[in-house]
Structure 1
Amino acid sequence: MMLTILPIAILLIIIAIIVAIILKGKKLVSIKFTYWLLLVYTVVLALATIAVVFVMSDSQVVTEVSEESMRESRVKLEKQLSTGKVDEIDRKHLLKHSSFDYSRPTINLRMNGAVMPKLLIERKTVNDGAIDAYAYTGGLYINGMDFTDRLTAPTFQLSNDQFEIYPPAYDNGINLSMMKSEFTITQFTGEGSSFFDPIEHQVPIIYLRIPKNLVIEDEQELEYLLQYVKKSS
């Protein structure tokens, strides 16, 4: 609301100053026009500073995460998945968990989308007639800030003997307001401008727990994406 009113307020102030100059005429001729511009600019900065308070009151404040913490978190997740220690994985990495009843001897796996996720498969010790599908993420970091909770999960679909994985629908944008190295301050302090660091994001990791003797058809088509889990004791 405040951001909607701000441009209108600035425009009204500028108009008021121009009208005042016209009405006063020669009386203000001796005053340099640059002084008026400086006054308008100062008022704009003051209004913008006040507006920040209202914007931040309705926004979610996200804390920064160090590059080392991001790297350690991803490495730990991949190690836990590759060794089948899913019970030890932090819940923040789990995007989705679905279970499907399945008693057929074979199944076809299909992954859709331009970017294929990594696929890990764990064979259970029994034929329990169920497929457990998990989607994990290494996180989403923008400029060192954690936005993992804004990620959407991929879709799992089982139809007859075909299990399909669809990529997430990235339709929920993230609006950011950076409160660091603002131009309104750095223009006076002489500090350099601050830009966004690269976005740190990896495709989801799909983890499937399948019955012991379930045969995956056309397995060779997934050889570059598929990895069997070797559980460690």
Structure 2
Amino acid sequence: MNMLMMFLPILIILLLIAGMGTLMVRASRRRRVSPKKWRRMIIGYIIILLLAAILSYSVLPENAEVVKTLSSNEMKQIESEQMKWMEAAHSGKLKDLEGVYTSKKSWSFPYDDSKLDITYLGEGAAYVMIFVEEISKGDDVIEAVHYTGNVFIDGLDMTEKKSSAQLELKGNILSLKAPDLASVNITKFSNGFPFQQFSGKKNGLFSSERPSMGAGRDFILLKVPEGVEVNGHTNYVRAE
């Protein structure tokens, strides 16, 4: 039933176009066509175009969201800023994250042990980097935040659709699981082929004018009390 409702507007448009075409063919076979009849045919054609534009939106799925399309330069700027931050972090410098990476989820665990072991659960967890920052020992608490880079699909920013990593603390073992895969359906309107052919602009889905895909890096910023020994694949950073 859903498939029928999806294609129903298209069928109606095709029937309207076929009916209009039939009338125009019949009129062309006559020797004389009055201006009044031509005016009716033109008005009918305009009505068909308006109906087609209105009905096309009924094909969209429920709860659809409009996502802003970024230009190639905007995407490169965002990726450049994130790369600079990542290079600084690998050299031990913790720069400001505001406006650079997106925070997905945060955790807080009471902790009074002197050692912390990190384990990875499932495939992909090892690709989530962990940066460790030591904080004053005033609070016996471990704080963690999952940050992610922007996810682009043909210029559409899908970062908000991305799932969060999972952290679980049992004893002195902190288990990390990579974010689950997210599923999205994309519908994009573009100019028709005749317009693109003569204008030279190709702005359809996965056009060559911008990178098709771009997935930002995931990492955990782990704040531990000073003196806690962290065992695992980590990088220590210090705020500038």
Please, what TM-score do these two structures have when normalized by structure 2? 0.67
Map of 1:7 onto structure 2 = 10
Q: Which runs of 5+ in 1 are unaligned?
A: 21-27, 32-41
Note if 1:229 corresponds to 2:237. Answer: yes
- Give the Cα–Cα distance (whole angstroms) in 1 for the partners of residues 185 and 217 of structure 2: 18
Note the alpha carbon deviations across 1:43-81, whole angstroms, 9 max, x for none. 997755333455499541413142332233313543675
- Give the Cα–Cα distance (whole angstroms) in 2 for the partners of residues 142 and 90 of structure 1: 20
What is the CA-CA distance between 1:92 and the residue it aligns to? 6.1
CA 1:165–1:5 in 2, change beyond 3 Å: closer, same or farther? same
Once superposed, which parts of structure 1, at least 4 consecutive aligned residues long, lie more than 4 Å away? 1-4, 10-17, 42-48, 52-58, 79-82, 192-195
Is residue 127–residue 213 contact of structure 1 (8 Å, CA) maintained in 2? no
- Give the Cα–Cα distance (whole angstroms) in 1 for the partners of residues 120 and 151 of structure 2: 22
**Residue among 94, 98, 117 paired with 1:89:** 98
Q: 1:108-147 residue pairs with structure 2 within 5 A?
A: 108-115=117-124, 116-126=127-137, 128-147=139-158
What is the CA-CA distance between 1:127 and the residue it aligns to? 5.4
Matching residue's letter, 1:206: I
**Residue among 53, 57, 63 paired with 2:69:** 63
CA 1:76–1:48 in 2, change beyond 3 Å: closer, same or farther? farther
Note the alpha carbon deviations across 1:154-203, whole angstroms, 9 max, x for none. 11111122111111112332423143x4436325x363655513211123
Map of 1:39 onto structure 2 = none
- Give the Cα–Cα distance (whole angstroms) in 2 for the partners of residues 74 and 100 of structure 1: 28
Is residue 6–residue 47 contact of structure 1 (8 Å, CA) maintained in 2? no
CA 1:101–1:143 in 2, change beyond 3 Å: closer, same or farther? same
Map of 1:157 onto structure 2 = 168
What is the CA-CA distance between 1:208 and the residue it aligns to? 0.3
CA 1:75–1:6 in 2, change beyond 3 Å: closer, same or farther? same
Note if 1:74 corresponds to 2:82. Answer: yes
- Give the Cα–Cα distance (whole angstroms) in 1 for the partners of residues 212 and 236 of structure 2: 32
CA 1:176–1:10 in 2, change beyond 3 Å: closer, same or farther? closer
CA 1:61–1:71 in 2, change beyond 3 Å: closer, same or farther? closer
- Give the Cα–Cα distance (whole angstroms) in 1 for the partners of residues 237 and 194 of structure 2: 54
What is the CA-CA distance between 1:229 and the residue it aligns to? 0.3
CA 1:7–1:64 in 2, change beyond 3 Å: closer, same or farther? same
Q: Which runs of 5+ in 2 are unaligned?
A: 30-45
Is residue 131–residue 237 contact of structure 2 (8 Å, CA) maintained in 1? yes
Note if 1:213 corresponds to 2:227. Answer: yes
- Give the Cα–Cα distance (whole angstroms) in 1 for the partners of residues 120 and 189 of structure 2: 37
CA 1:61–1:139 in 2, change beyond 3 Å: closer, same or farther? closer
CA 1:45–1:190 in 2, change beyond 3 Å: closer, same or farther? farther
- Give the Cα–Cα distance (whole angstroms) in 2 for the partners of residues 214 and 13 of structure 1: 74
Q: Which moved more, 1:165-174 or 1:151-160?
A: 165-174
Aligned length: 207
RMSD: 3.9
Matching residue's letter, 1:94: S
User: What SS is found at the alignment partner of 1:111?
Assistant: strand
- Give the Cα–Cα distance (whole angstroms) in 1 for the partners of residues 51 and 6 of structure 2: 10
Note if 1:185 corresponds to 2:195. Answer: yes
- Give the Cα–Cα distance (whole angstroms) in 2 for the partners of residues 154 and 146 of structure 1: 19
User: What SS is found at the alignment partner of 1:114?
Assistant: coil
Note if 1:200 corresponds to 2:214. Answer: yes
- Give the Cα–Cα distance (whole angstroms) in 1 for the partners of residues 130 and 192 of structure 2: 43
Map of 2:114 onto structure 1 = 105
